[in-house]
Amino acid sequence: MTVLDSPLSKNVQATYCLDIGDFHFFDNFIVAEFKQGSYVSFNDFKEIFDLSREFFEGKPSGIISNRVNSYSINLLDIVENRDKLAQLSAYAIVTYSHNTKRMLAIEDYYHNSKRERFNSLIDAAKWMTKELLTIELNKFRQP
């Protein structure tokens, strides 16, 4: 289910349509929906990171990769840009096919960040909201 076909659509604050896909900005997270057959490199994704820094203004933020389409990722880019990926406070992936779930096992080898997996976009959004709220609250609890 895409963001625009879901109940979440009413909460979208901004959408950026790039060559590689559509990026829906919410209060504190982004839902990324890459286009069918795209090849995603970190350079393509840099624009979204720049937009997110402006949009979220230093608040804890996260990204949900809503894998409604099949696409390729440059896995070596993940290794080379781990420091930039670490800027994300939370990361979730929604999968709809067995093949995509199998590909995640390969991606896990290259990722060093915590990623939660879901079969439902709604469940991922609920988790993301709760996770980011917890992070925000913990900032105030630290001495």
Give the CATH number for residue 101.
Answer: 3.30.750.24
What's the pLDDT tens digit per position in 19-64?
Answer: 999 999 999 999 999 999 999 888 887 788 888 989 998 889 999 9
- Say whether pLDDT at 113 is over 70: no
Higher-confidence residue of 67 and 137: namely: 67
- Strands (E) in 7-142, as ranges, are 14-18, 21-25, 29-34, 39-40, 62-66, 72-73, 90-94, 116-118
Alpha carbon dihedral 57, 61, 66, 71, in 10-degree steps, equals 70
Domain containing residue 25 = 3-141
Q: What is the pLDDT of residue 69?
A: 94
The pLDDT of residue 96 is 92
Query: Is the CB of residue 32 less than 8 Å from the CB of residue 62?
Result: no
Q: Quick one: pLDDT at residue 50?
A: 86
**Total count of domains within the chain:** 1
Residue 142's pLDDT is 65
Q: What is the dihedral of CA 114, 34, 22, 58, to 10 degrees?
A: 20
Residue length of the chain: 143
For position 7, what pLDDT does the model report?
Answer: 98
Give the contacts of 13 (CB within 8 A, at least 6 positions apart): 25, 26, 27
End-to-end, the C-alpha distance of the chain in Å comes to 42
